[in-house]
Structure 1
Amino acid sequence: MPFFRRSCLALACSLPLLAMAAPSAPGPVYGEQLQGFEYPYPLHHFNFESQGQALQMGYMDVAPTGPANGHTAVLLHGKNFCAATWGDSIKALSEAGYRVVAPDQIGFCTSSKPASYQYSFQQLSANTHALLDSLGVDKASIIGHSTGGMLGTRYALQYAPQTEKLVLVNPIGLEDWKALGVPWRSVDQWYERELKLSAEGIRQYEQSTYYAGHWKPEYDRWVDMLAGLNKGPGHKRVAWNSALIYDMIFTQPVFYELPDLKVPTVLLIGDADTTAIGSDIASPQVKARIGHYKVLGKQAAGRIPGATLIEFPGLGHAPQMEDPAAFNKVLIEQLTLGRPV
């Protein structure tokens, strides 16, 4: 999900000279594992070994605040998100009686940023499964947003018996961008791009792509989260892991395996979303035919056996953040549907 930076022509050359010379607001700076950023619930760390190195995953494990229903919901974040961005949904699910586990995947947010790591959705699924096993969670509903939707799909394919229900929230990967003509980027090219991220570039991209041109002041916290992590002391390590993760997303489509899903699946789609990996370097012809969630949601529902599709008209890439009350009501209804009383 590329971030666009304004050119001199688009921004600086249109401003008075004094404004051009003024330094940009510094904003917050966070540690390599997002130290200094406040999570909505207590943060824990799962220490484990993977690919010959000691790693740790940050996660929240929130007990029910309402009458416990004996079920667990696992929330998987997207590429430009963190477990913290699920805060409203964690609260709603906990009040509805769920135990809620929300991890940060390796390479993201409060988790390790390895100097080298062979990223795959299978590996991240195995890491998540190991975390849940350490917490005594044998079966859970898996709720994945954006890149977390790709991961959730892989998890449900890999661990079907442990997946009670799969909920995909504006998942990316409902199309194969490479097969549709989006050019390949090398990891080095991704790395150079990630090194240049800025808060203004992040905000521009998210407003135009995620939120259908709209913006709310509360979104600034999440822009600062990403920008502060990127410009902190772990700047290069954060950018390198981000580059490796983008390569994983682009080269490891789950699109072709959607018909193989054997667990109850729900698609929750903000239909104004236009997210598509590589759209910034695609030709105008290719860009015009990718990232149309109003179409992609319906197509995916037709390819996943027995899938349920619920659309949120006018909402974008993150309906759980754009309209938390409406989203969480639907989410809890769908998790409960079909369950024996």
Structure 2
Amino acid sequence: MRASPFLVACGLALGLAGTPLPALAADEPLGIALEGFAYPYPVFYLALTRDGEAQRLAYMDVPAGGTPNGRTVLLLHGRNFPSSYWETVIAALTAAGYRVVAPDQLGFGKSSKPVGPFTFDTLAADTTALLDALGLPRVDVVAHSMGGMLAVRLARTAPERVNSLVLEAPIGLEDYRFTVPPVPTERLLRIEADVTADVYRRQLMTSYSLSLPEAAIEPFVSLRERVKGSGEYPRWLRSFVNSYQMIWGQPVVHEIPLVRAPTLFVMGERDRNAPGRAFAPEPLRASMGDNAAHAQALAVRMPDGRAEVFPGIGHLVHMEAPSRFNATVLDFLDGH
């Protein structure tokens, strides 16, 4: 069930007047909560408080299709993507009988943008609050990139809530503090403010070693450009930069061997993504981001972990190899 009256429909869901909200033109500025950008399923909101301010956590809650199996999968997104990029995964999971809940964490997608420091503990608490509001005592978790770091923290702080865990190309498989020095927030704000569409497109294609055509990531490039037209863009920018500081300063790699839930790493062979590499001393950069090898080494140290590596694939496994990814995830979930 949903936690009315705190939850309201938006996005592709019916608006308050009972009619669909209109979509904005492809080049029109967006609000920092992606107002006017359509998600593939109805979007709901949970009221939260962060930094003394009222916040709204956006999420999709998609019922199982066919014959429901009584289980729910929680999808946790990466830093550079809204939860809408789970569309094909949601379709596969619901077709197999799973209910799917896909939130935008505070600071991302259609959720509010807090400007105070981010912590994985707070994100995990927000996620637990969402599960409580939806009456979900236990879920299976599929998490990508930064979402993988959050999933590890969730599995450690609320182990009774996590039935099984799929980590798709997670970051945080090494402690970035060992290679990357601290970078002041004000410097990061200046750097991120100067990122153009061409620079961002190149960052996604090269940092993520994607096997996708550029057209496949253009929606994400467009989103970042369009929020620059919002009067609240400085707030979006600070929120985004604060998430980098969380990734750099709050490692989870040391906790991964302690996760007790059955865990599957799904890794792209080409994925060498390493946040902060550009700030690391030149001699250390090449040693960063050996993610597939890190996942394999960590899996054998876990009570119930294993890793599967997809040849020729980069950081966006569920978009680069959707059929194989979905089949692998379903096989794992059905086995637990």
By the TM > 0.5 criterion, same fold?
Answer: yes
How far did 1:219 drift? 1.8
The residue type paired with residue 106 of structure 1 is L
How far did 1:214 drift? 4.9
1:275 corresponds to? 273
The residue type paired with residue 60 of structure 2 is M
- 5+ long unaligned stretches in structure 1: 1-25
Deviation readout 1:126-172 (Å, 9 max, x if unpaired) = 00110111011111011110000000000000110110111111100
How far did 1:47 drift? 1.0
Deviates more, 1:167-176 or 1:193-202: 193-202
Partner-residue secondary structure (3-state), 1:137: coil
How far did 1:295 drift? 1.7
Moved over 6 A (4+): none
1:111 corresponds to? 111
Asked if 2 retains the 8 angstrom alpha-carbon contact of 1:79 and 1:148, the reply is yes
How far did 1:196 drift? 1.8
1:189 corresponds to? 187
1:92 corresponds to? 92
How far did 1:40 drift? 0.6
1:224 corresponds to? 222
How far did 1:82 drift? 1.1
2:167 corresponds to? 168
The structure-2 alpha-carbon separation of the partners of 1:213 and 1:63, relative to structure 1 and needing over 3 Å to count, comes to closer
Partner-residue secondary structure (3-state), 2:167: strand
2:153 corresponds to? 154
Deviation readout 1:250-273 (Å, 9 max, x if unpaired) = 000001111211111110111101
Partner-residue secondary structure (3-state), 2:142: strand
Asked if 2 retains the 8 angstrom alpha-carbon contact of 1:320 and 1:328, the reply is yes
Deviation readout 1:76-99 (Å, 9 max, x if unpaired) = 000001111111101110111111
Q: Determine the C-alpha separation between the residues in 2 that align with 1:221 and 1:187.
A: 27
Q: Determine the C-alpha separation between the residues in 1 that align with 2:226 and 2:202.
A: 16
How far did 1:29 drift? 2.3
Deviation readout 1:209-251 (Å, 9 max, x if unpaired) = 2134652422211221233234433210110001111101100
Partner-residue secondary structure (3-state), 1:39: coil
Asked if 2 retains the 8 angstrom alpha-carbon contact of 1:85 and 1:222, the reply is no
Identity of aligned residues (%): 35
Q: Determine the C-alpha separation between the residues in 2 that align with 1:197 and 1:67.
A: 47
2:320 corresponds to? 322
The residue type paired with residue 66 of structure 1 is G
Partner-residue secondary structure (3-state), 1:57: strand
Q: Determine the C-alpha separation between the residues in 2 that align with 1:303 and 1:172.
A: 18
Partner-residue secondary structure (3-state), 1:143: strand
The residue type paired with residue 159 of structure 2 is A
Asked if 2 retains the 8 angstrom alpha-carbon contact of 1:44 and 1:60, the reply is yes
Q: Identify the structure with bigger relative contact order (alpha carbons < 8 Å, sequence gap 6+).
A: 1
Q: Determine the C-alpha separation between the residues in 1 that align with 2:54 and 2:40.
A: 27
1:210 aligns with 2:208: yes
Q: Determine the C-alpha separation between the residues in 1 that align with 2:203 and 2:137.
A: 39
Q: Determine the C-alpha separation between the residues in 1 that align with 2:211 and 2:262.
A: 33
The residue type paired with residue 168 of structure 1 is L
1:65 corresponds to? 65
Q: Determine the C-alpha separation between the residues in 2 that align with 1:28 and 1:164.
A: 42
Asked if 2 retains the 8 angstrom alpha-carbon contact of 1:80 and 1:226, the reply is no
Q: Determine the C-alpha separation between the residues in 1 that align with 2:209 and 2:86.
A: 17
- The aligned length equals 311
Q: Determine the C-alpha separation between the residues in 2 that align with 1:91 and 1:136.
A: 22
Q: Determine the C-alpha separation between the residues in 1 that align with 2:216 and 2:105.
A: 24
1:55 aligns with 2:55: yes
Deviation readout 1:304-334 (Å, 9 max, x if unpaired) = 2220211111100011011211111111111
Asked if 2 retains the 8 angstrom alpha-carbon contact of 1:32 and 1:238, the reply is yes
Cα RMSD of the aligned pairs, angstroms, is 1.5
Q: Determine the C-alpha separation between the residues in 2 that align with 1:136 and 1:162.
A: 11
Q: Determine the C-alpha separation between the residues in 2 that align with 1:231 and 1:198.
A: 13
Q: 1:301-316 residue pairs with structure 2 within 5 A?
A: 301-316=299-314
Asked if 2 retains the 8 angstrom alpha-carbon contact of 1:270 and 1:316, the reply is yes
* One of 251, 257, 260 as aligned partner of 1:259: 257
1:101 corresponds to? 101
The residue type paired with residue 286 of structure 2 is A
- 5+ long unaligned stretches in structure 2: 1-25
1:249 aligns with 2:238: no
**TM-score, reference length from structure 1:** 0.88
